[in-house]
Structure 1
Amino acid sequence: MKSRFLFPYPWRKWGVALFIIGLTLSAVHIVFDEYFSGLHHGQMLAGKADLRELVTDIILLTLICGLLLIAFTKEKVEDEHIAQLRLDSLQWSIYFNYIGLIICIVCITNWHMFVGIAAHFIFTPLLFFIIRFRWVVYQSNRLLHSEE
């Protein structure tokens, strides 16, 4: 299986940087958003809603781009074995995502709560793929080095 649609290996560093920046901005946004909401007792000032949406969009785009770069950059040695591990991990991440979504559909009856929780399923395929792929590559390398 030829991996034609993977980013070059050095781009992973950019992905990690974008993801860390996105997480940091997200935490800062949550803290300050709650502070300003409490300060104004939930009243929107002119333009505040637009700024909040713009900041949220920038944070989401930063996180998604970072995760995409982390997940889909080539390894130093990209061979058939790595391609198979990548494919298996992608399949498991889709299973995990939809099992979680099904559990939410069955267990959550409040529509607003469901939408809030289901929005997090935007990130779960990429996150679970990265975690599982890195784990199986680590296990494979460990097994390879123990045989030597």
Structure 2
Amino acid sequence: MKTNYLFPHKFKTISGILFIVATLVMFYLLLIDDSEIINLDTTVFAVMNDDIFGKMKYFEFIPNDIFDELLISVFVISGLVFAFSKEKIEDEMTAKIRLESLVWSTYVNYLLFFLCVWFVYGSIIYTVMMIALFTHLLFFIIRFNWKLYTFKHSADHEE
């Protein structure tokens, strides 16, 4: 079966480790302690920037702590590589489980987002929208690996 869109299997382990670490750090910052773990203040180029009580500015250099940008980049890149790396045995059943998991995670993510739109109010909705960007990938990885695990173990018991 041709799977040109998948990364090589050799990337799965390191991307999985990076993804787990980034996920744990993000949850720690979001749920437990939102203070700065690491301060990486630097000057960055901003296409758009608005100060809290200022006007919108375009194409300028601004001071910024880039720890959150680096953390989100590690989360997204490692998550995509981990989610879309080939398995040791990549067959039609693995592709079917991958597709079903992708569809399932899309439905669940948008159902939860829809519920939040109707039941979460105030400025916290922006946090919910930010979380919704990451949960789709997280739901897919969890469901795909769980279904793959249960399929492999049910096949072991049948033999």
Q: Please state which structure has a larger fraction of its residues in strand.
A: 2
CA shift, 1:33, in A, is: 2.3
Are 1:51 and 2:54 counterparts?
Answer: no
What code does the residue aligned with 1:68 have?
Answer: L
What code does the residue aligned with 2:158 have?
Answer: E
TM-score, normalization by structure 1: 0.80
**SS in structure 1 of the partner of residue 64 of structure 2:** helix
CA shift, 1:66, in A, is: 1.3
**SS in structure 2 of the partner of residue 59 of structure 1:** helix
Cα pair distance change 1:24/1:104, threshold 3 Å: closer
**SS in structure 2 of the partner of residue 73 of structure 1:** coil
Q: Note the aligned Cα RMSD (angstroms).
A: 2.4
Gaps of 5+ in 2: 40-61
Contact map agreement 1:14 1:69 (CA 8 A) in 2: no
Gaps of 5+ in 1: 37-48
Cα pair distance change 1:68/1:114, threshold 3 Å: same
Q: Please state which structure has a larger fraction of its residues in helix.
A: 1
Match of 1:43 in 2: none
What code does the residue aligned with 1:122 have?
Answer: L
Contact map agreement 1:18 1:62 (CA 8 A) in 2: yes
CA shift, 1:20, in A, is: 3.9
Match of 1:142 in 2: 153
Q: Give the Cα–Cα distance (whole angstroms) in 2 for the partners of residues 60 and 107 of structure 1.
A: 27
Q: Give the Cα–Cα distance (whole angstroms) in 2 for the partners of residues 20 and 51 of structure 1.
A: 26
**SS in structure 2 of the partner of residue 51 of structure 1:** strand
Deviations 1:47-89 (A, max 9, x none): xx8332x211111001111111111000001000100000000
Q: State how many pairs are aligned.
A: 133
Deviations 1:92-115 (A, max 9, x none): 0000110011001100121x2101
Match of 1:95 in 2: 107
Q: Give the Cα–Cα distance (whole angstroms) in 2 for the partners of residues 14 and 141 of structure 1.
A: 22
Match of 1:33 among 21, 31, 36: 36
Question: Percent of aligned positions with the same letter in both sequences?
Answer: 32
What code does the residue aligned with 2:11 have?
Answer: W
CA shift, 1:15, in A, is: 0.8
Contact map agreement 1:85 1:133 (CA 8 A) in 2: yes
> After the TM superposition, which of the residue ranges 55-64 and 86-95 deviates more from structure 2?
55-64
